[in-house]
Structure 1
Amino acid sequence: MSITVTTWSLEQTSPGDLRPAAEPSGDIRIVRAEVPSPEFSRFLYSAVGGDIRWTDRLGLTYAQWQEILGRPGVETWVAYDRGTPAGYVELDPQDDGVVEIMYFGLIPAFRGRRIGGHLLSYGVARAWDLAERWPERPPTKRVWLHTCSLDGEHAMDNYLRRGFRLFDTKVTEEPEAPSPGPWPGAGTI
């Protein structure tokens, strides 16, 4: 069996495109994970993407995770709710001032609480000012990402509300497979 998956690519081409979300109530903090940690990044990846079929990095070795996270300009920004990781955004600078939001999302228990819009706004702002922290990187002139029909129900709306514009759509057939986890029944707190 296979399922039809639609993938949308979206972009911003100016810092002025960003329309920030309001900050959520409560003790929400966003902190850069400055020490590349394959263990922590794999935890975030599987906790956020387990129920929406993120699988592309699950087979990577420790060394491959280190290589990805250790590249100059790659940044992981983590949202915490009262000290507990709630979600993250991973920035991946590419050539010629392009920054891809490689991964973005919330752990299922934290979805629907207005944290996602704030985290995305913060992450996009950090993509636009990335060269200030990484002088060897050129100034950012484009920020882009992709999302798909398997992502959370509010993902596309969040991207559009933050000022992203659609530039490409692809439809593919993928093998139907169960979500990998983080474990069966994970979800609410």
Structure 2
Amino acid sequence: MSSSSLTVTTWSLEQTSPADLRPAAVPAGDVVIRRAEVPSPEFSRFLYTAVGGDIRWVDRLGLTYDQWREIVERPGAEIWVAYEKGTPAGYVELDPQDDGVVEIVYFGLIPAFRGRRIGGHLLSYGTARAWDLAERWPERVPTKRVWLHTCSLDGEHAMDNYLRRGFRLFDTTITEEPDTPVPGPWPGAHPA
């Protein structure tokens, strides 16, 4: 018996200068973005499952506590969280790489906060923090390139948001992946 699969297109995008960033407008209301300065595997996993549960973010679900801790405690790794009226709405996770490269590893909003103009602002803010990361981590060389990837499983507005913020496409791949059930942030949380 064969299992079903999905055809997934993955697009890799980049900026090569801080001048590439075209910031979105700041949304109305009580929206603030703060860095999670205390490394917390629990908080990181909460954000990951809450944002990615309905769009098939599964690659980190099997990680142990120590593996999560290693990710969040890596020098230069940063998590920036958007809050609306004190409630986490989404996040950007930055991963410093070699030679002044910073990857936006994860970016997204918790489903209840999508479509409220928070995403463009959060992406703008997170990208700016990727560009000035060396100011907070003096052992790092200045950022020369910021990159990310998105795929056909992500939200319908994801690619448009990246392009409007000044990211440029540099690679496209197509793969077949198992068609696993959408996990949701916890069993039964995702509406049918």
Band of TM-score, shorter chain: over 0.9
1:55 corresponds in structure 2 to 58
Q: TM-score, normalised by structure 2?
A: 0.96
From 77, 80, 101, the counterpart of 1:98: 101
Alpha-carbon offset, residue 105 of structure 1: 0.1
The structural deviation recorded for 1:77 is 0.1
Alignment-derived partner of residue 164 in structure 1: 167
| Separation of aligned partners in 1, 2:189 and 2:71 | 30
Offset of residue 186 of structure 1? 4.2
Alignment partner, residue 80 of structure 2: 77
Selected match of 1:87 from 68, 86, 90: 90
Unpaired segments ≥5 residues, structure 2: none
Deviations 1:66-87 (A, max 9, x none): 1111111000000000000000
- Equivalent position of 1:2 in the other structure: 5
Deviations 1:132-183 (A, max 9, x none): 0000000000000000000000000000000000000000001101111113
Q: Which runs of 5+ in 1 are unaligned?
A: none
Question: d(CA) in 1 for partners of 2:87 and 2:170?
Answer: 35
- Secondary structure of the structure 1 residue equivalent to 2:47: helix
Question: Which structure 2 residues correspond to residues 1-189 of structure 1 after superposition, within 5 A?
Answer: 1-183=4-186, 184-186=188-190
What is the count of residue pairs matched by the alignment?
A: 187
1:5 deviation in Å?
0.2
C-alpha displacement of 1:41: 0.3
The separation in 2 between residues aligned to 1:43 and 1:67, in whole angstroms, is 16
> What is the aligned-residue identity percentage?
84
Residue type of the alignment partner of 2:128: A
> What is the one-letter code of the residue matched to 2:45?
R
RMSD: 0.8
**Alignment partners' CA distance in 1, 2:123 and 2:190:** 23
